Amino acid sequence: MGKNLFQKVWDAHTVGHLADGRTQLFIGTHLIHEVTSPQAFGMLRDLGLKVKFPQRTFATVDHMVPTIDPENPQDPLAVEMMQVLRDNVDDFGITYFDLASGKQGIVHVVGPEQGITQPGTTIACGDSHTATHGAFGAIAFGIGTTQVRDVLASQTLALEELKVRRIEVNGRLRPGVYAKDVILHIIRLLGANGGIGFGYEYAGEVFDRMSMEERMTVCNMSIEGGARCGYVNPDANTVAYLTGRPYVDMSDFNATAARWLSFASDPDAHYDDRVRINAADIEPTVTWGISPDQGIAISQTIPDPANAATPLEKASIEEALAYMKLGAGTPIQGVKIDVAFIGSCTNGRISDFREVAKYIRGHHVAAGVRAIVVPGSQIVAIQCEQEGLPDIFRQAGFEWRSAGCSMCLAMNPDKLDGDELCASSSNRNFKGRQGSPTGRTVLMSPVMVAAAAINGHISDARELFHLENPPSEV
C-alpha cells in the first residue's frame, strides 16, 4: 500500500524517537511573529541556548500592527513587542520582513508570497493558522511558545503522529459558492472537534481546480475543524505559483519541481478515514453562533434549541443564541450588521480583493455600517494599488487600510465596540474574538461580506450581485 503525503513528509523529517515514544520531527521552516515569540527567546536566553539554524526561521510583524499609520503604533505595548522582536532577530541573526522591507504582512500570507512555503516541507509557527501553508503540500501546524523555543534551539519538535482523513469534494461548485463556503461547510459537517487527532487531506475535483489562494483559504481553517494541519497535494498549480518566487531556487528547477510533486499522496495511499462531499450541495455558508461549526446555508433559518438532538447540543445552541442575540428559527438573512471586515490570513489575498471589486462598483456601503478592508501583506497592497482596487473600494464606501491581522483578533486598534455585529471574512466567531467582550462575529466569504456591507444586513450575495456565472474556475 502506498503512502499519503502526510506520511511521506513525516517520514522524511523524522530525526528519531524520544523515550516517551514521540517522534522528534525536523522543522524545515519556522515562522515567527511578535506575539508568541518573545517568551520563547526569553527561555532560550535563560537556558543559555543559541538558535541552531537561524537561516530557517523567518519573522514578520502582523498581529499588533495598526492598519492606519502602521509605523507609529499608539499602544505602548505594541511598540514594546515590536521592538522586542526587532532585538531578538538582530541578536540571533534571523531574517525579518519588517515594516520598512515592503514585504511585511500576515505571516501566512508572507510565507507563500516569498516562496518560503514549499511542498514536502514541515512548517511550524506559534499560530494555529499555520495550517494555511498546507495548501502547498507542506505539513504545517501551529505550536505553543515553549515549542517555539524548541524549534529555535533544536530545529525539531517532540510530536505525536496524526491520522489522516481524506476529504473529497467532487462535482462543481454552484455560482457564488467560494472556497470559504467549502471549508465552512466541511467544518459544519464534521464539527469543530471532528478533526482532533487528524490531519486533513483535501482532495477531489473541487480542490484540484482551485487556485493556490483558494486552497490556502481552505487549509487555513483546518484548525477550526479541530485538525492541526490540512493539505492539498502539490500539482502543476503549486509549481506554477512558486516559479520565480524569491526563496525558490530556480537553478535546477525541473528537479526541484519533480521532488515537490513526488510528495503527493500515492494513488493507493492508506487513509484512516474518508469523507465524500458533493460540491453541488454547498451553498454560501454563514455562521450564526460562537463556534465555527455553527454554520448554515444563507437560505436557512437559525437553529431552534427545541429541535436539538441532545441536551448538550440544546445548551450549545441556547448559549450561542443568547450571546449572538439572534432568534431561534428566524432567517439569518436580514440580520442587521454594524461592521464589515474583509481581510485576515483566511481571505486577505489579491484574489479576494479582485473578486469583491468585480461586484461593488455602483454600490455603496449602507449608512451606519463601518466597512474596513485590510490587505494581507504589503505586497498584496501594492498589487491592489497597481490594479486600482483601493479606489473601487473607497468609492463604494469601504475604508482601505494597511496590511496586518487587524480585526480578525483585534490586537491592534481595529476592534468591535460593545455588542456590534460584524460580517467578517476571518476565521473565528468565538465570543469576544474581535476585541469587544460582547462583540458578535458572523463568518462568511469576502463577497458575502461585501453584500452585507452594502445592504446593511446579512444577505445572499448571489441575489445582490447577480452571480449567475461561476465566479472562478472552481
Partner 1 sequence: MPLDPVTQVSGRAVFIPGADIDTDRIIPARFMKCVTFDGLGAFAFYDARFDEAGNPTAHPLNDPRFTGASILLAGVNFGCGSSREHAPQSLKKYGFQGIIAESFAEIFFGNSTTLAMPCVMASAADVEQLRMAIEKDPATTVTIDVISLTASTSGGLNCPVTMPDSAREALVSGRWDPIQELLENAAAIDTKARELHYV
- When asked if residue 253 is in the footprint of partner 1 (CB under 8 A), the reply is no
Query: Residue 288 carries which side chain, given as an amino acid letter?
Result: W
Closest alpha carbon to 173 in 165, 161, 181: 181
- When asked if residue 312 is in the footprint of partner 1 (CB under 8 A), the reply is yes
User: Distance between CA atoms of 232 and 171, rounded to whole angstroms?
Assistant: 17
- When asked if residue 38 is in the footprint of partner 1 (CB under 8 A), the reply is yes
Q: Report whether 224 contacts 427 (CB < 8 A).
A: yes
Question: Which of 62, 113, 150, 181 touches partner 1 (CB under 8 A)?
Answer: 150
- When asked if residue 435 is in the footprint of partner 1 (CB under 8 A), the reply is yes
Query: Shortest gap between Cβ of 303 and partner 1 (angstroms)?
Result: 15
> Which of helix, strand or coil describes residue 352?
helix
Pairing of strands 370-373, 399-400: parallel
- When asked if residue 142 is in the footprint of partner 1 (CB under 8 A), the reply is yes
CA atoms in the 13 A half-sphere facing the CB of 196: 4
User: Distance between CA atoms of 381 and 175, rounded to whole angstroms?
Assistant: 27
Query: Shortest gap between Cβ of 213 and partner 1 (angstroms)?
Result: 22
Query: Shortest gap between Cβ of 224 and partner 1 (angstroms)?
Result: 8
Task: Count CB-CB contacts under 10 A for residue 163.
Answer: 15
| DSSP code, position 305 | G
180 to 199, contacts with partner 1 by CB under 8 A? 192-193, 196-197
Question: Which of 101, 146, 262, 278 touches partner 1 (CB under 8 A)?
Answer: 146
> Which of helix, strand or coil describes residue 459?
coil
Piece of the chain touching partner 1 by CB under 8 A; list 31-39, 176-184, 235-243, 367-375: 31-39
Piece of the chain touching partner 1 by CB under 8 A; list 105-113, 155-163, 210-218, 236-244: 155-163
Piece of the chain touching partner 1 by CB under 8 A; list 91-99, 360-368, 428-436, 446-454: 428-436
324 to 383, contacts with partner 1 by CB under 8 A? none
**For 165, phi and psi rounded to 5 degrees?**
-110, 125
Query: Shortest gap between Cβ of 82 and partner 1 (angstroms)?
Result: 11
Closest alpha carbon to 100 in 75, 133, 65: 65
Instruction: Tell me how far the alpha carbon of residue 473 is from its chain's centroid.
Output: 21
Query: Shortest gap between Cβ of 219 and partner 1 (angstroms)?
Result: 15
Piece of the chain touching partner 1 by CB under 8 A; list 145-153, 326-334, 368-376, 454-462: 145-153
Burial class (CB within 10 angstroms; exposed 0-12, middle 13-18, buried 19+) of 90: exposed
Edge to edge, the sheet with strand 156-159 lists 14-17, 23-26, 156-159
Burial class (CB within 10 angstroms; exposed 0-12, middle 13-18, buried 19+) of 253: middle
User: How many residues sit close enough to partner 1 to count as binding (CB under 8 A)?
Assistant: 80
- When asked if residue 309 is in the footprint of partner 1 (CB under 8 A), the reply is no
Q: Report whether 340 contacts 452 (CB < 8 A).
A: yes
Question: Which of 314, 383, 432, 472 touches partner 1 (CB under 8 A)?
Answer: 432
Piece of the chain touching partner 1 by CB under 8 A; list 123-131, 238-246, 262-270, 363-371: 123-131
User: Distance between CA atoms of 187 and 226, rounded to whole angstroms?
Assistant: 9
Piece of the chain touching partner 1 by CB under 8 A; list 261-269, 299-307, 315-323, 345-353: 315-323
Question: Which of 4, 156, 222, 406 touches partner 1 (CB under 8 A)?
Answer: 156
Question: Which of 52, 276, 394, 466 touches partner 1 (CB under 8 A)?
Answer: 52
Question: Which of 86, 163, 245, 259 touches partner 1 (CB under 8 A)?
Answer: 259
Instruction: Tell me how far the alpha carbon of residue 254 is from its chain's centroid.
Output: 30
58 to 117, contacts with partner 1 by CB under 8 A? 64, 75, 77-78, 80-81, 84
User: Distance between CA atoms of 103 and 334, rounded to whole angstroms?
Assistant: 39
- When asked if residue 426 is in the footprint of partner 1 (CB under 8 A), the reply is no
- When asked if residue 155 is in the footprint of partner 1 (CB under 8 A), the reply is yes
212 to 241, contacts with partner 1 by CB under 8 A? 223-224, 226, 228
Lay out the site mask for partner 1 across 393-412 (x = CB under 8 A, - = otherwise): ----------------xxx-
Q: What residues form DSSP beta bridges with 443? A: 424
Question: Which of 91, 394, 438, 463 touches partner 1 (CB under 8 A)?
Answer: 438
Q: What residues form DSSP beta bridges with 164? A: 199
- When asked if residue 430 is in the footprint of partner 1 (CB under 8 A), the reply is yes
